[in-house]
Amino acid sequence: MHDSGIAQLARALRARETSATELAQRSLSAAQAQAGLNAFISVCAEQALDAARHADAALAAGSVKALVGIPFVHKDIFCTSGIRTTCASRMLENFVPPYDAAVVEKLAAANAVSIGKTNMDEFAMGSSNENSCFGPVRNPWDTTRVPGGSSGGSAAAVAAGIVPFATGTDTGGSIRQPAAFCGITGLKPTYGRVSRWGMIAFASSLDCGGMLARSAEDCALVLTAIAGHDARDATSVDRPADDYIAALSTSLKGIKIGIAHEYFGAGVEEGVAAATQAALRELEKLGAVLVDISLPNAPIAIPAYYVIAPAEASSNLARYDGVRYGHRCADPASLEDLYTRSRSEGFGAEVQRRILVGTYALSAGYYDAYYLRAQRARRLIANDFAAAFASVDLIAGPTAPTVAFKLGEKFADPLAMYAADVNTVAVNLAGLPAISLPAGFSAGLPVGLQLIAPAFAEARLLNAGHQLQQHTDWHTREPAP
């Protein structure tokens, strides 16, 4: 399983070299053997084996679905009917949804086999997967280091070879940064390309569902299954999806890639910059034309994001009040005591911090000074991308300024932690698609190359990623067992 992607496993299934049941059993055994990574919140063996039996029946009947019988995991932010969905929070520790999220429905309809739900930063708030009431996830490349966040459990499960792909969500880099830290491929689609229905909200104008896998080809297969309009999601865009698989083989000759110098600024480790530049030279060998560009408002992305995202979080998380569902404190003395203690006990420190920041930014007297100014900054950032894409096809830079850092290294310093997202948050503010691709190593740890495209140009990203991976082997490297 460790060295096989979706395409390879699909061929093996159709050739009857293995079965969906055998693959599910191997994934479940691998999850148990690598329990020390703490990548899982729930392992769903019974449901996985039942789904695998249905997949084997579909294969016997001649199913040609690309994902039939392929084992995977869901980030524990997607609602799953009859299976608890916790968001790695004590607030939802025992919450069992009565319905499936749209992404869950689509992957079930594709006959893919979910083996469980993965650990994450609480309510997707974090860059290291240390903000979980179930404890931190460990990076398979070095278990003393973080896997990135918030989709760290999903990234670790793929990097460790437990499953060939995983779902994730990206609000400010939460798919791309863990993909970079764990040496795998992660795709954040355009906002509105994948339905958010049933995906528990953090910041509604920024949240985006996507996937983590070994390769761009595998990401294309998964995106084909989950992309599309959903009338239940008011932010879902009614626009036909491209043929992501057909686009993979397109030549890169003449494609213009903008190199944003702001993404190579202060704070970017020398080894990360060197590995990224080496990957860009490989793209140049394939016919791409590298063009220097500027995104002048990139430095204000972090402050704008950390006003807008907490403001939306404070609104979205107001529903967790101890009355309707979620954690409820014992023996409240009054309604105020019920609210106060339920939220204090249910939410972790980072979630509380962001709720307080967001509530402050939205309060009377500060709304104009903070929230409205952040939204104006968001427009400037989007305008920068629009201007750049008038002359280039893609924009490139390091996904993260550093390699995976040590567990606990930045945990007590929120500002240092937030800086880990310096190259990713602007993409969410502008609603654009982006991909992180393995781009070599620095000090023995994986480095990620980020490519950004105009809205709904996921096919262009996947094509560039696939062509790079056809001529390099970084995406095939594996952590030591």
Complete DSSP assignment for 361-426: HHSTTTIIIIIIHHHHHHHHHHHHHHHHTTT-SEEEEESSSSSPPBTTTTTT-HHHHHGGGTTTHH
**Average of per-residue pLDDT values in the chain:** 97
Checking if the pLDDT of 438 tops 60, the result is yes
User: How far is 336 from 334, CA to CA, in rounded Å?
Assistant: 5
Mean pLDDT of the 333-351 span: 97
Burial class (CB in 10 A: 0-12, 13-18, 19+), 369: exposed
Is 150 part of the annotated catalytic residue set?
Answer: yes
What is the predicted pLDDT for the residue at 324? 86
Share of the chain above pLDDT 70, in %: 99
Q: What single letter denotes the amino acid at residue 289?
A: V
CA atoms lying within 13 Å on the CB side of residue 218: 29
Sign of CA dihedral 157, 159, 162, 166: positive
Question: Is residue 83 within 8 Å of 96, Cβ to Cβ?
Answer: yes
DSSP 233-260: -TT----PPP-TTGGGG---TT-EEEEE
- Ordered structural domains, the chain, with CATH: 6-250+441-446+462-476 (3.90.1300.10)
What is the predicted pLDDT for the residue at 1? 52
pLDDT tens column, 148-185: 999 999 999 999 999 999 999 999 999 999 999 999 99
In the set 27, 127, 154, 174, the catalytic residue is 174
- With b for 16 or more beta-carbon neighbours within 10 A and e for fewer, the 374-409 pattern comes to beebbeebbebbeebbeebbbbbbbbbbbbbbebeb
Mean pLDDT of the 24-42 span: 98
By mean pLDDT, which of 19-23, 242-246, 414-418, 453-457 is the weakest?
Answer: 414-418
Mean pLDDT of the 228-257 span: 97
pLDDT tens column, 352-383: 999 999 999 999 889 999 999 999 999 999 99
Is 253 part of the annotated catalytic residue set?
Answer: no
pLDDT tens column, 390-405: 999 999 999 999 999 9
Cβ-Cβ contacts under 8 Å for 226 (sequence gap 6 or more): 102, 103, 106, 107, 167, 194, 209, 211
- Any idea which residue has 């995202």 for tokens? 309
What is the predicted pLDDT for the residue at 429? 98
What is the predicted pLDDT for the residue at 133? 98
- What are the Cα distances from residue 56, in Å, to 5, 14, 70, 164? 19, 10, 10, 18
In the set 19, 27, 75, 410, the catalytic residue is 75
Q: pTM of the entire structure?
A: 0.96
Mean pLDDT of the 2-25 span: 93
In the set 114, 128, 150, 154, the catalytic residue is 150
Q: What single letter denotes the amino acid at residue 256?
A: K
Is 285 part of the annotated catalytic residue set?
Answer: no
The H or E element containing residue 431 is: none
Angle between helices 6-14 and 20-33 (to 10 degrees): 140
Checking if the pLDDT of 2 tops 80, the result is no
- With b for 16 or more beta-carbon neighbours within 10 A and e for fewer, the 305-329 pattern comes to bbbbbbbbbbbbbeebbbeeebbbb
